[in-house]
Amino acid sequence: MEPIDPVYGTATLLLIAAAAVAVLLVLIIVVKLHAFVALVLVSVATAVAAGFPLADIPDVLLFGFAGTLGEVALLVAFGVMLGRLLEVTGGAQVLADRLISRFGEQRAPLALGVAALLFGFPIFFDAGLVVFLPIILTVARRFGGSLLLYALPAAGAFAAMHAIVPPHPGPVAAAGALDADIGVVLLVGTPIAVIAWYVGVMLPSRWLGARIDIPVTDAVFGQVRTTVGAGAPTGGASGGPDDPAGHEPGPVDGSEKESRPPAFGVVLGLLLVPLVLIAGDTITDTLVTAGSVDEGAGWAEVLSLLGQTPIALLITVLLAIAVLGRPHASMAKVSDMLDDALGPICSVILITGAGGMFGGVLELSGIGDALSESLSDLGFSLIVQAFLIATLLRVAQGSATVAITTTAGLVAGPVGDADLTSVQVALIVAAIAAGATVLSHVNDSGFWLVGKFLGLDVKTTLKTWTVIETTLGTSVFVLALAVWLVV
C-alpha cells in the first residue's frame, strides 16, 4: 500500500503518533492489558485519528501485520525448532563449552558477542538471534547472573552487523540510493560496526546486567531442560565435555540408555549450513548484478532459492533432525519435541506482528513523508543531516528499513552534488544506518521480538534493549563522524 495524502500537517501527525505511543505504554505498563490486544487497539485508534477512510482501515492494519509476520514467523518457527534440538541433545552445551574454553569463564559474554559478530555477517538479525538463543541460555545457566550479561552482547552484535554491514538490506539499499561502492561500504562499515559494538553494546551490557537481574527461566527456552528424559539435568550447568560436574544429557526419548552429546564439529557444521547457503545467495546476486553471471542461469536460481533465509533454516532443521534427533529418539518423539518448541513462541510471533501493524499504520499515515519534507534542508553538514533525518524517521514510524531508504532518497541529491569521495559516501551510509538504529521502542517489531524472547516486560525492554540500540547507533555515528573529519 502507498501512504495516504496527509489529512493533517506534520505537527499534528507527530502529536497523534506521540499520543498513540503514550496510550500504548499506559495500557501495557499501568493497566496491564495484554500487549497484543493493546497494540491492535491502539493501531485501530491511530488509523482513525490519522484520517484513514474507515473502509480502508482493515487493509491498513493488515499491511504492517502481514508484512511483519511474513518476515518473522517462518524464521522464528524454524529457529526455535533448531534451537530445541541443539538444547535437548546437548549440542548447545558443546558449542558453549568450546567457546568458553577458548575465551575463559570471565570473558563468556565477550565470547558470545564475538561469535555473534561472525555469524551475523550473512544472517539477518532475527534469524541469528533465534538460532543463537539456546547457546546464550546454556552459557547463562552455567555461570549464573542476569541473562542480560550474556544476551545483550550477542543480540547487539547481530543488530550491529544487520544495520551497518552489507549484504544486509539496509546498508545495501542506502548504498544503492547514494550510488556508493558496496566494497568500500563493506570495508568502512565492518570496523565501525565492530568498534561500535564493543563501545556501544559490550560495555553498557555489563552495567545493565549488573543492575537488572533477569532469570534464565523467564526466556522462551528457559525451561527446556525440564522436558528432557530422566537422565538429563533440570537446569543448572551441565551436559558438556568440560562440565565440572561430569553430567551428560540423558536420552531424548526418556529411555535408560545414555547418549553422548554430539561432536563439536557436527554442531558447528549445522550452524554453518544457513550461513553458507545465505552467503551463496548473496555472492550469486552480486555476480548477477555485476554482469558476471546471466540472470536466468539455472544454477544461480537454485542457489538463490536455497539461500533464502526460511529455506536455509528449513534445510538446517531437516539436517538437525537427521544428525541430532533421530540417533537418540524415534521420529514420533522428535516431532513431539518440535511441536513443544512451537508453543511458547505463539505469543512472540503475534505480538511482533502487532508491533509491525502499529508501525505500518504510522508509515501509511504519511508521517514519514511529511517529516521528510520538513527536515530535508536543515542546514547541517551532510553526515549530520543524514543521521538526524534517519533518527527522527526511526522514532516516528519504527521501521529501520523505511528510515534508511527514505533518508537515503532525501540526501541522494545533495550527496551527488557534493563531489564526495567513495569513503565519504560510505560514511554517510553508516550515519544513516546509525540514525535508523537508535531508540527502538514500541512501534518497532524488533523491540517486541527481543523483549519476548528474553522474557522481559515492556518497561524492562525500554530500559535495556532501547538503551543498547541507542548507545550502538550513537557509537556508530560518532565513529563515522570522527573519520569524516579526517578524510
Q: What is the mean pLDDT of residues 288-317?
A: 80
pLDDT value of residue 379: 64
pLDDT value of residue 409: 73
Cα 295 off chain centre by? 30
Q: DSSP 3-state helix, strand, coil percentages of the chain (rounded to 5)? A: 75, 0, 25
219 — pLDDT class (breaks 50, 70, 90): low
Query: Which pTM was predicted?
Result: 0.70
Is 90 exceeded by the pLDDT of residue 207? yes
Q: What is the mean pLDDT of residues 348-364?
A: 78
Residues in contact with 381: Cβ distance below 8 Å, sequence separation at least 6, in sequence order: none
Average pLDDT value for the chain:
79
CB neighbours of residue 138 within 10 Å: 30
Cell numbers at 295, concatenated: 540472470
Is 70 exceeded by the pLDDT of residue 230? no
pLDDT value of residue 304: 82
Residue 393 has phi, psi (to 5 degrees) of -65, -40
Q: Which of 219, 223, 252 is nearest to 129 (CA)?
A: 219
Residues in contact with 56: Cβ distance below 8 Å, sequence separation at least 6, in sequence order: none
194 — pLDDT class (breaks 50, 70, 90): very high
Query: What digits encode the pLDDT tens for the residues 33-62?
Result: 887 888 899 889 989 988 888 988 999 899
* Residue in the block written with cell 544428525: 323
6 — pLDDT class (breaks 50, 70, 90): low
Query: Torsion angle, CA of 451/457/459/461, rounded to 10 degrees?
Result: -20
DSSP label at residue 146? -
For the chain, domain boundaries: 10-62
Query: What digits encode the pLDDT tens for the residues 80-129?
Result: 788 778 777 877 677 777 877 787 777 888 888 888 887 776 667 877 78
